[in-house]
Amino acid sequence: MTLALLALFAAAFAIGTSEFVIAGILPAVSTDLGISIPVAGYLVSLYALGVAVGGPVIATFTSRFPHKLLLLVYVGIFTIGYVGCALAPNYPALLVFRVLIAMIHGAYFGTAMVVATDITPENRRGFAVALILSGLTVANIVGVPLGTAIGTNFGWRMTFWAVSALGVVSFALISMLVPADHAHAERGGNLVAELKALAREPVATSLAVIVIQTIGQFPLFTYISPLLTTVSGIGLDTVPWLLLMVGIGSTIGVLLGGRLADWKLMATLTGCLALQIVIYFLIGVLQTNPWIMAPLLLIWGATCFAFGSPAQTRILSNTRDAPTLAANLIPSAFNVSIAFGAWFGGTLIDRGFAYSILPWVGVVTAIVATAISAWSWAREGRGTA
């Protein structure tokens, strides 16, 4: 089953690379297609909207189909979609292909999470979820720099051809390594049952934790570069190395969070959130010290992503009889929260607040998320959840 998880990881890596690499080639796309960079930016913002909407909508109509078939369909659409991106004659065509791909992004991750937990023993499900999530973090460390380098040296269309090649490899790996399953009319075929599953307290509180924590993370994450240069006094040429530290920390965090979730799920979830309070506080107090920011950012990246594995594992474990909609709502919750968090951070800056306020937003949201998790853990311990 480990090989099947690696196949799911490969597709997650391909999709993660495709989502984030656009930032590195956006100026080239803008110049070649004769559009402004803000207009080209819709390739990013509408992608996030497509992810948020696509997963739950597609899940509503596909819950009865075999999971392996759905994975192959999603990766097939992804691969063909990026061939379309590489051949797009103009900006509207490129935008349409990107939004189409975004629609299946959330659906892929929702289905992959269900498959990962289905084929993994109960005491390894946290790690299985973490391995899929790590496809996104590794994409940021490896895939995005490579994709950007390809675009810089050979043109932005070649980046999309490379991403499409990753799709072909992922399709082949899923075909060969993911075990076949059967239609799921008995579980997840009933929309009412899927909606009722969302109302379960462990599911609702875990989704709330994801939303609140992510909203608090992305004001700082979005504006980390100007904070480092204007508040910490770090040179612009050093910032990419510090962002690499965040990426490395996020990969360590997501895998460690998965391992710990298999040991003590709620202790891991609540502990990761509580540790975030401390890290945000330390960043807020010490952000003017350039030497301390590197280790703090490494730990910050780890804690921000470590909570995701236990939170998602808890949702999937409590919706095993009706998993499809809940699993697809997870990436939607993340993407809507990312968009809102980035908007909120920008609004604070536009209204005259200094970049130094952003870590304190994280302190507040981490306190709220920790309180919700601790309360839910206590109810679970009393058997009232």
pLDDT, one tens digit per residue, over 116-142 is 888 888 778 888 888 888 888 888 788
Helix or strand (DSSP H, E) at 120: none
pLDDT of residue 184: 52
pLDDT of residue 188: 45
Cβ atoms of residues 342 and 300 within 8 Å: no
Q: How far apart are CA 77 and CA 19, in angstroms?
A: 15
Would you kindly state where each structural domain of the chain is located, as residue ranges? Answer: 2-185, 194-382
Which residues make Cβ contacts (< 8 Å) with residue 150, sequence separation at least 6? 158, 159, 162
Count CB atoms within 10 A of the CB of residue 190: 16
Question: Which of 151, 49, 27 is closest to 98 using CA atoms?
Answer: 49
Q: What is the pLDDT averaged over residues 132-156?
A: 84
Between 109 and 55, residue with greater pLDDT: 109
**Two tokens at 311?**
């939170």
DSSP string spanning 39-51?
A: HHTHHHHHHHHHH
Q: Where are the beta strands (DSSP E) in 116-274?
A: none
Question: Which of 373, 348, 336, 312 is closest to 220 using CA atoms?
Answer: 348
Percentage of residues of the chain with pLDDT beyond 90: 34
The whole-chain average pLDDT of the chain stands at 86
Does residue 218 register a pLDDT over 80? yes
Does residue 246 register a pLDDT over 90? no
Q: What is the CATH number of domain 2-185?
A: 1.20.1250.20
pLDDT, one tens digit per residue, over 5-14 is 999 999 999 9
Q: How far apart are CA 144 and CA 103, in angstroms?
A: 21
pLDDT of residue 360: 96
Q: What is the pLDDT averaged over residues 210-226?
A: 87
Q: What is the pLDDT averaged over residues 110-116?
A: 87
Does residue 105 register a pLDDT over 50? yes
Does residue 373 register a pLDDT over 90? yes
Domain 194-382: what homologous superfamily?
A: MFS general substrate transporter like domains (1.20.1250.20)
Q: What is the pLDDT averaged over residues 3-23?
A: 88
**Two tokens at 247?**
């990426």
User: How long is the chain?
Assistant: 385
Q: What is the pLDDT averaged over residues 70-99?
A: 94
Q: What is the pLDDT averaged over residues 96-125?
A: 87
The Cα angle at residue 140 between residues 365 and 263, in degrees rounded to 5: 60
194-382 shares the fold of 2-185: yes
Q: What is the pLDDT averaged over residues 46-50?
A: 82
Burial (CB < 10 A; 0-12, 13-18, 19+), residue 327, is: buried
Does residue 41 register a pLDDT over 80? no
Task: Give the SS3 label for residue 190.
Answer: coil
pLDDT band at 79 (very low <50, low <70, confident <90, very high): very high
Q: How far apart are CA 18 and CA 349, in angstroms?
A: 29
Q: What is the pLDDT averaged over residues 22-43?
A: 80
pLDDT, one tens digit per residue, over 172-205 is 999 999 988 765 544 445 667 777 878 889 999 9
Alpha-carbon 200 to chain mean position: 23
* Alpha-carbon torsion (193, 194, 196, 200), positive or negative: positive
Question: Which of 139, 136, 59, 128 is closest to 310 using CA atoms?
Answer: 128
Q: Of the ranges 44-48, 114-118, 369-373, which one carries the lowest mean pLDDT score? A: 44-48
Cβ atoms of residues 313 and 129 within 8 Å: yes
Does residue 21 register a pLDDT over 60? yes
Q: How far apart are CA 45 and CA 85, in angstroms?
A: 17
Q: In one letter, which amino acid is 110? A: G
Cβ atoms of residues 369 and 273 within 8 Å: yes
pLDDT of residue 185: 46
Between 96 and 237, residue with greater pLDDT: 96
Q: In one letter, which amino acid is 21? A: V
pTM: 0.79
Q: What is the pLDDT averaged over residues 68-96?
A: 94
Cβ atoms of residues 30 and 36 within 8 Å: yes
Alpha-carbon 306 to chain mean position: 12
Percentage of residues of the chain with pLDDT beyond 70: 96
Does residue 38 register a pLDDT over 90? no
pLDDT, one tens digit per residue, over 350-361 is 888 888 999 999
pLDDT of residue 384: 54
